[in-house]
Amino acid sequence: MANVTMTFHAKGPIFDGSALRNLTNELDLFGRATVRRMASYPAQQRGKRHVFRSDRERRGFFYHLRKGDIKVPYRRTMTLARAWSNETRADGRRLLGVVGLNSGMAPYGRMVEGLEDEQTRDMVERGWPSVETVAREEWQRAIPRFEKALAG
């Protein structure tokens, strides 16, 4: 499972119940914004002819095409978009925002939108973002909201 866990470290103790509630809500908004961006697909590349990298790849493609395992042109099922989820939870003294990919639902997801070291070069070139990149960007947008939530 390609999980990204982000932890916000408050500058001081959090005693106020409403501040904790506000922070939890903002952390949940961060998770939902990250999932929303992961669920949006880059534009499908049409008219670009695929160049097979090897004879084995070409034979495998036509074998699966004849067998009916794949169809051309490819139609997106949106399964990867549905495989993303987020969770906000307390872990001891920390509040965690977890964005995860259900790899049982989309086992290929890690190669398409997974962690930076799992994503294939081909998917990066096609415009698929890594979950780490998106989470970092959303986290930077969320930090001012976290600080405001703690201020009351």
pLDDT (tens digit per residue) in 106-122: 999 999 999 999 999 98
pLDDT (tens digit per residue) in 77-102: 999 999 999 998 876 677 888 899 99
pTM: 0.79
The whole-number pLDDT of residue 74 equals 77
pLDDT bin (cut points 50, 70, 90) of residue 146 is confident
pLDDT (tens digit per residue) in 2-21: 677 776 666 666 666 787 88
Q: In what order do the strands lie in the sheet with 3-7?
A: 3-7, 94-101, 84-91
107: domain range? 3-43+52-151
The count of other CB atoms within 10 Å of the CB of residue 98 is 17
Please state, in angstroms and rounded to a whole number, the distance separating the CA atoms of residues 78 and 109. 11
- Total domains in the chain come to 1
Residue of 17, 11, 36 whose CA lies nearest to 146 = 11
The SS3 call for residue 151 is helix
pLDDT bin (cut points 50, 70, 90) of residue 47 is low
Mean pLDDT, all residues of the chain: 87
In this structure, which amino acid lies at residue 124? V
Please state, in angstroms and rounded to a whole number, the distance separating the CA atoms of residues 27 and 95. 8
